[in-house]
Structure 1
C-alpha cells in the first residue's frame, strides 16, 4: 500500500477570537433537532417535518475515536418519534465494517436503522469488474492502492491483487486518507505532495482507470485535519496539465449514495428527508442537489477551524458567510453540535 502526504501551506497565526453576531441573511441556527422534528416544540407543521434523517458520521456522531453523547441522544429521540435514521458516510470501509467500529464506541441499533458507505458501493463495483476473471480462471486484476485506511482495506476481498508499482497495475484504487493537512489550506485547494503526483503521472500515462472509494477532500480525526483521497481526482484527470485517466468517485456528493440511503429509509422522497453533515462540499451540496433539506454541524467537523476561530470559539457568522461565498453552497440550517 502506498502512503501519501500533502504539500503544506505556510502556517498562519490564528486571529484572536472576536464577538460574532448572527445576521438575518445567514442560515438560521437550530438549538436542537427537536425544533425540526418534535410536535409542540416549535417544529414545522406535520406535512413539512422531515420524514427521514440521513446522517454523516465523522464530525457529527464521532471524532473517529469517541462518540458524541448528545448526538446519540438526538438520534434515539428521532427514532422514538418514528423517524428512520440512515447513516450515510464517505468512509472507504464497507457498511458492516463501519457498524462494527461504531459499536465499539457505543453507537448501535438504538441510534440508526441502516448504514450506507461510499466504500460499500465501491466494493460492489470493483467486485463486478474482478469476478469474470475469477470465473474464467484468469489472474486477478492488480490495483495500485493509494492512501491509508486504518484497519486495512478490502481490495483482496473484492478480488484484486495490490501493488505499489504503477507499471504493474490494471487500475488505481484510492482508500482512506492521505497525510495531515494544514488548517490554512483553503477548501478546494488541497493538493497531493510531489511523490504522489509522480505516481499519478505514471499511472495516467498508461490511462489506468482510477476508483476512489471516498469522495472527501478533508477529514478531521480526533481533532486533527487530514486530506481525503478525494483530492486525487482532479490531480489524476490532468496530471501536469495534460489529459489523464478516467476517475470514478463513490460517496457524497454523488447521487448514488444518497439514493441508497433514501431507499433504506423506506423510499422517502428527497424533499422529505433531512441530511445532517459537517462538510459543505459533500454532505450539504450533494443532498441539496437532490432537493433534500440540510443541516450543517459545525464544531467538530471539517470546517471547525473556520467556523469556530480561537480556542473554544463560538460559531462565527463571518466564518460561515465566508465559506458560503467561497463554495457557493448554503445549508438550510446550522447547529454547533448535534443534540436533541
Structure 2
C-alpha cells in the first residue's frame, strides 16, 4: 500500500540520494515550484545528494541553461542527468546509423553537438528521410500543435525502409503551464504500433540510471529515493531499479486524484494505482 506523506522531510533521513524528476515536480515548464526547490535545498542541507533526472531530449548543459529563467537555484541540486545525454551516447555509438533523419524542433539542435568523449568518432549527418539510415526523434516539429498521427505517412515510409527510431525522450506528454503537449515517447510508441523499431534510453530504461550513478559517484549501499509524476517513467523506472519512490500525484495524473491538487484522495489514488498494477512507496500532491 502506498503511504501518503505531507512532505519530503518526513522520510528524508532514510535516504542518501534523490533521483528527482524535473518537469511536473520541480517546475511546470514556465516557473519553478518554490516549495519543491526548498525541499531539495533542505535535503542537500542535511547531507543528501540530488540528481535532477529528466527525460528532456537535450544535453544537461542546455537544461541547466534554462534554470535561471525557471527560478531553480544552483544549491538545489548536485548533478543533472538527461535522456538526451544517454540517447546522445547511443547515437554517436551508431545505434541507428550515421545518416539520420531528425524528427524534432530546432531547439533540440544541441543534441547533435559532438561531446568531447566522441570527438574522434565518425560524424553523424542529418539528412532527409529518403536518405536516412535511422531516425533520431526528440519530439514533434511543432510540439504545441502536432500529434503522432500527423506523422503516420512518414513513419510508414520509415517502417518500410526498416529504420530504427532512437527516442531521445520516452515521455508521452508533459504539461506546459496549463497545456498538455506530446513528447518524443508518443511518436516512438506510435511508430512501434505501426510495426517499426523504437529504442529508448531515458526513464524507465536502465541507461539513464547508470549514468546518474556514475556522475554522482554513488557508493555501494547508498539509499536512493526516486521522485516523479510519471507512473510509466519515473515510478516504473524506480521499480525496475529496485529503489523506493515518491509519486507526485499533482502532476500528470492530477485529474484522477481528487479535487485538491496538493492532497490526493487516498481511495481514488489507490484505485488508480491498482488498475496500473504498480505501488509507489510514497505519494504526495506536490513536492514540498
State the TM-score, normalized to the length of structure 2: 0.87
1:150-189, aligned counterparts within 5 Å?
Answer: 151-158=107-114, 159-163=123-127, 165-176=128-139, 179=143
State the alpha-carbon separation in 2 of the partners of residues 327 and 272 from structure 1. 26
1:145 positional shift: 2.1
1:74-85, aligned counterparts within 5 Å?
Answer: 74-85=39-50
**Residue of 134, 148, 152 corresponding to 1:192:** 148
1:89-238, aligned counterparts within 5 Å?
Answer: 89-129=54-94, 141-148=98-105, 151-158=107-114, 159-163=123-127, 165-176=128-139, 179=143, 192-193=148-149, 195-238=150-193
Counterpart residue number, 2:285: 336
Q: Is 1:66–2:31 an aligned residue pair?
A: yes
| Larger-Rg structure | 1
What's the RMSD between the two structures over aligned residues? 2.5
Counterpart residue number, 1:277: 228
State the alpha-carbon separation in 1 of the partners of residues 277 and 210 from structure 2. 23
1:318 positional shift: 4.0
State the alpha-carbon separation in 2 of the partners of residues 294 and 270 from structure 1. 17
State the alpha-carbon separation in 2 of the partners of residues 312 and 215 from structure 1. 25
Please say if residues 249 and 261 of structure 2, whose CA atoms lie closer than 8 Å, have aligned partners that are also in contact.
no
**Residue of 217, 231, 234 corresponding to 1:266:** 217
| Runs (4+) off by over 6 Å | none
| Matched residue SS, 1:82 | coil
State the alpha-carbon separation in 2 of the partners of residues 53 and 156 from structure 1. 29
1:267 positional shift: 1.8
Aligned length: 277
Please state which structure has a larger fraction of its residues in helix.
Answer: 2
1:119 positional shift: 0.3
| Matched residue SS, 1:88 | strand
CA deviations on 1:200-254 (whole Å, 9 max, x unpaired) are 1100101112100011112112121122211233332341xxx43x321110000
Q: Is 1:303–2:253 an aligned residue pair?
A: yes
Please say if residues 52 and 265 of structure 1, whose CA atoms lie closer than 8 Å, have aligned partners that are also in contact.
no
| Matched residue SS, 1:60 | coil
State the TM-score, normalized to the length of structure 1: 0.74
| Matched residue SS, 1:99 | helix
Task: Identify if the C-alpha distance between structure 1 residues 238 and 338 changes in structure 2 by more than 3 Å, giving closer, same or farther.
Answer: closer
Please say if residues 16 and 222 of structure 2, whose CA atoms lie closer than 8 Å, have aligned partners that are also in contact.
no
Q: Is 1:56–2:21 an aligned residue pair?
A: yes
Unaligned runs of 5+ in 1: 1-25, 39-48, 131-139, 182-190
Counterpart residue number, 1:256: 207
State the alpha-carbon separation in 1 of the partners of residues 267 and 189 from structure 2. 29
State the alpha-carbon separation in 2 of the partners of residues 123 and 312 from structure 1. 36
1:306 positional shift: 2.0
Counterpart residue number, 1:37: 12
